[in-house]
Amino acid sequence: MTTDTDRHTQVDAIIVGGGVAGLSAAVALGRSRRSVAIIDAGDPRNAPAAHSHNYLTRDGESPLELVRLGRDEARHYGVRIVEGVAASASRTDTGFEVTLADGSVVGGRRLLVTTGLTDVLPDIPGLADRWGRDVLHCPYCHGWEVRDRRIGIIGSAMVGHQAQMWRQLTEHVTVFAHTAPTLAEEDLARLAASGIEVVGEEIARVDVDSDAIVGVTLASGTQIPLDALVVGPNFTSRADILMSLGLATTEMVMNDHVLGTYVEADPVGATSVPGVWVAGNVSAPMDTVVAASAAGVKAGAAINGDLIEEDVRIALERAKAIAS
């Protein structure tokens, strides 16, 4: 379904993705009196979370409420919201066209993609249903809310570092090796020195009672009581729309392990395809909400600057044509 738009819209900037990165870019552009259309599928990565944190003056706000407020703010500056799925993008003589799943088309001089990423979780029964509630991944986003509770860390390439971060918040941290690579002796020594227990068995299932995690059951049948679980998910960038323009994703590697994919860009979000920018988790998987918002502002300003250069070039060409 489309709203606030005709079947075919022509704007200065198309933004695919209506989270905080896309909305922040739209506000920056709208305040520069640029025409902007945001295409949003309504499927934000952080929708399962009840609250977002570390966003100054908005601490604890629902991610969906942030989007609602952001949409209102963007509309105030003339931004159009197009509700639908962006199916493909193509280059035109004047810029780009994005075709939606319903067949409508949005054309624009520049393209910004802020589609985020998908979290790929460990395949443990009961885990995915608790994602964003008491299955967590970021201590800066959710750690304060589970301080002093019993926290389990599911093994990943980053488990040693993760465990030490969560240990700052509680004395009750248990690392579950599960199917992760064997921890080095140095890592085991560091964990032991911090009072962190390591369980070598695989987790068979997550135990839930009264809509809350109460622990895990191991492959041996042993039950371990817990209040929250921490995972190190793989990050898969939502980059299909960019691939249709010839951009490829890059593997994100840490400790010699591939953690996911992202789209490479320069510090203001410009990609290797002229006229195409990215911002937010699609290009920076580790960014929090406030960092994604800041990236959107930078990309929006960069796009406006690029459009200014084009406007001046066109004006010069016209002036020369008149003079001749």
List beta partners, residue 128.
Answer: none
pLDDT in tens, 115-145: 999 888 999 999 999 998 999 988 998 999 9
Q: Report, in angstroms and rounded to the nearest whole number, the Rg of the chain calculated over CA atoms.
A: 23
Sign of the torsion formed by the C-alpha atoms of 58, 64, 65 and 71: positive
Please tell me what DSSP assigns to residue 47: T
Please report the pLDDT score of residue 257 as a whole number.
75
pLDDT in tens, 62-76: 889 999 999 999 999
Please report the pLDDT score of residue 1 as a whole number.
42
Low-confidence stretches of the chain (pLDDT < 50) are 1-7
**CA 115 to CA 41: how far, in whole Å?**
9
> Is beta strand 173-176 parallel, antiparallel or unpaired with respect to 197-199?
parallel
* pTM of structure: 0.90
**CA 79 to CA 38: how far, in whole Å?**
7
Q: Which residues contact 54 (CB under 8 A, 6 or more apart)?
A: 140, 141, 288, 289, 290
Instruction: Spell out the SS3 assignment of 159-204.
Output: HHHHHHHHHCCCCCEEEECCCCCCCCHHHHHHHHHCCCEEECCCEE
Residue 127's nearest CA partner among 20, 267, 233, 40 is 233
